[in-house]
Amino acid sequence: MAIPSYEEFMKPLLRLAEDGAEHTAREAYNSLAEHFRLSPDEREHLLPSGRQRTFENRIGWARTYLAKAGLLESPSRGMFRLTPRGREVLQENPSEITSSYLRRFAEFVEFKSLAQQPADATSDSLATPEEALENSYVSLRAALGDELLQRVKACSPQFFEKLVVDLLVAMGYGGSRRDAGSAVGRSGDGGIDGIIKEDPLGLDVVYIQAKRWEAGVGRPVVQAFAGSLEGHRARKGVLITTSHFTQDAKDYVDRIEKRIVLVGGQELAELMIDHQVGVTDVATYPVKRVDLDYFPDESTARELEEMS
């Protein structure tokens, strides 16, 4: 038989977690391979990159989608279990669980919207190979960003400070990591969590405040940070949060003289991806074209033929 699609893996995967216990990815691979009676060749079949087994990749995406819809949760690293909502779905016993079915849950719709294409984007059925590749990249990046942000929210305040240091240094701030590390993490200093060089030479400095929050960050917090900058006679600041900033907070920084940059959770995840912080490359697919400069043009080709 053909290897099931990620959607075909969804319902059996949810059934596996019906016992309420915590399960590992390896358990899911073994259980679903037996459930679908996959042959040894099907179990070993690899993606085009050669880096991962196809059926494991599809089970991974099934798990990701079920988690984004709130049917599965990850209580600890590498583990998953059923949620109350997932149990309700199993009691409903739909004939199948697909991406269309999961769109009844607002969290899944929000997750998918992160990878939504522009309104005039070509449909999958009409997409060129390049467009299909670009669309897949956007979806992969959205899923990665969401997973990154969830992990950042679950880490300790001390690790979050380290993450901020690593990101700022990767972006070119702070000079060396040693310089940045000694500057960030001084919490409680008048509303300032750290001070970091704006450039390697230290011609100017940026004041930092990092908030590992769930709720939206409103104007009062940003206004208090601006006041802290005033107390230090500082002109520039960066306020980083794992959640988001309210529109009132964004409007406020546009109206004040001081330069304050607001970095919300989604942008934080994107910056981590762009600057290789907390992520690693899995596969690379070079897209090449014919080098026209290598080949002679028609007129040159004719001249060469006449000379031969």
Q: Which whole number is the average pLDDT over 137-150?
A: 88
Provide the H-helix boundaries in the chain. Answer: 6-16, 25-35, 40-44, 54-68, 84-92, 99-102, 106-113, 129-154, 157-170, 177-183, 219-231, 247-255, 265-274, 298-307
Do the Cβ atoms of 82 and 17 come closer than 8 Å? yes
What is the model's pLDDT at position 154? 86
72 pLDDT more than 70: yes
Main-chain dihedrals φ then ψ at residue 5, nearest 5 degrees: -75, 170
What is the model's pLDDT at position 215? 86
What is the model's pLDDT at position 180? 61
For residue 61, which of 22, 102, 92, 93 has the smallest C-alpha distance?
Answer: 102
In this prediction, residue 128 has a pLDDT band, given cuts at 50, 70 and 90, of low
Q: Which whole number is the average pLDDT over 239-247?
A: 93
Q: Which whole number is the average pLDDT over 160-185?
A: 74
pLDDT digits (tens, 9 = 90+) for 38-60: 999 999 998 877 778 999 999 99
Q: Which whole number is the average pLDDT over 217-222?
A: 92
What is the model's pLDDT at position 176? 64
Q: Which residue has the higher pLDDT, 190 or 249?
A: 249
Q: Which whole number is the average pLDDT over 264-274?
A: 95
Place of tokens 């240091």: 165
Q: Which residue has the higher pLDDT, 269 or 133?
A: 269
What is the model's pLDDT at position 138? 84
Do the Cβ atoms of 198 and 206 come closer than 8 Å? yes
Q: Which whole number is the average pLDDT over 87-115?
A: 91
For residue 5, give both structure tokens. 């699609």
C-alpha 308/C-alpha 296 separation (Å) is: 15
What is the model's pLDDT at position 119? 38
DSSP string, 40-94: HHHHH-B-TTSSSBHHHHHHHHHHHHHHHTTSEE-SSTTEEEE-HHHHHHHHH--
Mapping DSSP to helix (H, G, I), strand (E, B) and coil, where does residue 114 land?
A: coil
Q: Which residue has the higher pLDDT, 140 or 32?
A: 32
Main-chain dihedrals φ then ψ at residue 96, nearest 5 degrees: -155, 160
pLDDT digits (tens, 9 = 90+) for 245-266: 999 999 999 999 889 999 999 9
What is the model's pLDDT at position 207? 86
What is the model's pLDDT at position 120? 41
What is the model's pLDDT at position 121? 43
Q: Which strands form 79-82's sheet, in the order they lie side by side?
A: 23-24, 79-82, 72-73
21 pLDDT more than 90: yes
Q: Which strands form 236-241's sheet, in the order they lie side by side?
A: 184-189, 192-197, 205-211, 236-241, 259-263
Select the highest-mean-pLDDT range: 30-34, 134-138, 284-288: 30-34
279 pLDDT more than 90: yes
Query: Domains of the chain (ranges plus CATH)?
Result: 6-113 (1.10.10.10), 157-274 (3.40.1350.10)
Whole-number mean pLDDT of the chain? Answer: 84
Do the Cβ atoms of 11 and 99 come closer than 8 Å? no
208 pLDDT more than 60: yes
In this prediction, residue 118 has a pLDDT band, given cuts at 50, 70 and 90, of very low
C-alpha 22/C-alpha 176 separation (Å) is: 42
219 pLDDT more than 60: yes
CA angle 239, 244, 249 (to 5 degrees): 65
For residue 225, which of 268, 190, 276 has the smallest C-alpha distance?
Answer: 190
Share of the chain above pLDDT 70, in %: 83
Q: Which residue has the higher pLDDT, 306 or 294?
A: 294
Whether pTM > 0.85 for this model: the answer is: no
Mapping DSSP to helix (H, G, I), strand (E, B) and coil, where does residue 252 land?
A: helix
C-alpha 65/C-alpha 7 separation (Å) is: 9
Q: Which amino acid is at 207?
A: Y
Q: Which whole number is the average pLDDT over 207-222?
A: 88
